[in-house]
Structure 1
Amino acid sequence: METATLSFDNMHTYGPLFANMLKARHRTFIEGKQWDLPEEAGMEFDQYDTAQSRWVCVHENGRVMAGVRLTPTTAKCGIYSYMVRDAQRGLLDTIPGNLLWEPAPIADHIWDANRLFVVDDVPTEIRRRVQMSLMGHMVRSARAQGATILIGLLPTLIPRLARRLGIDMVPAGPEMSFAGVPHRVYFVSMASKMH
């Protein structure tokens, strides 16, 4: 099992891994969760998959097991910025605008983490290891970009996993359900020491 952080600068060195990750997102979010998201050729993508983002991917022999997208809160692409802020601004039909208690931040040291997933067919006996690898690499990758805080609309079970890595997560908005799965926006502090 390997973990990589993909960017537009380095994705060519990983062969089909980026496309495989978008296909895994399609299986997870469109086929599995029935979310109404943009798709083409069996891949899920949206307006935040730009050169400003990074994608953390857990994989084995080209098979994607898990992933997450990181986008700076300073990002701009047309009318869009980052997912949590754009939802709050009413630009996204599928996410309610009241997802945050405060205005969405814009700062160099804060990055958005979204589209976090572990594919359904990851065996139970290694699932926890895949989750831990994804979370740990997500934090290291965000830190490498200068982030000290992540903000993300994430499943409510994630903080329990994060605590095992020494990552502090604080709720930033009310709990809401997507396809029957409870989610909420969290601030993820990366100042604490990871185990």
Structure 2
Amino acid sequence: MDRESKDGGTGTPDTDGLAWELLDSAIDYSCPGFDVRRDDVRLPDGTETDYHYVDEPPAVVVLPFVAGREKEREEGEELVVIEEWRQAVGRVSRGLPAGTTEPDDDDLADAARRELTEETGYEAGTVEPLLSSEPINGVANAVHHYFVARDCTPTGEQELDFNESIRVSTAPYDDLLAQALDGSVRDGRTLLGVFAYELHGRGE
């Protein structure tokens, strides 16, 4: 039943009797990228039951701005974007580079640099945190850490996992924002990253 917290975030103590008591925990199924975990729990009313969810490492999501194309707002910034086949929805998804962390990743910014290079062949000059989120915490313990990377330059080849099919290009930031707003881009990680940058990070 030993289970280490993987979110790297902060929690709040239960003060109103909502917490479930963890009785046991085990992995029911494993596959590349994530596990399906079963928790045996006792609910606040005393009912004992089980609860299944996706158990996966934290991930990093990168907004990579191309070196030499980070100009004043009216002239437009340019991002490195990817197109990736997503089997779960049966189509190509357009959006931001992202990847899972490794067990020995002590520095999330370094993990963001690595994942950017592996997926796109670009290297970042600087990397700064933007926000962290729990995108689907009803069915998964996933935590996504967002970073803004600047002065990104193409320096090498992609180093993709065996089950990744990714095409790399660049696009004006304003175009990606417009596509996020009109529904053309539907990738949740990309939507949150672009909207958070637009609200909090742009121009800083």
TM-score w.r.t. length of structure 2: 0.24
TM-score w.r.t. length of structure 1: 0.24
Higher-Rg member (1/2)? 2
More strand by share: 2
More helix by share: 1
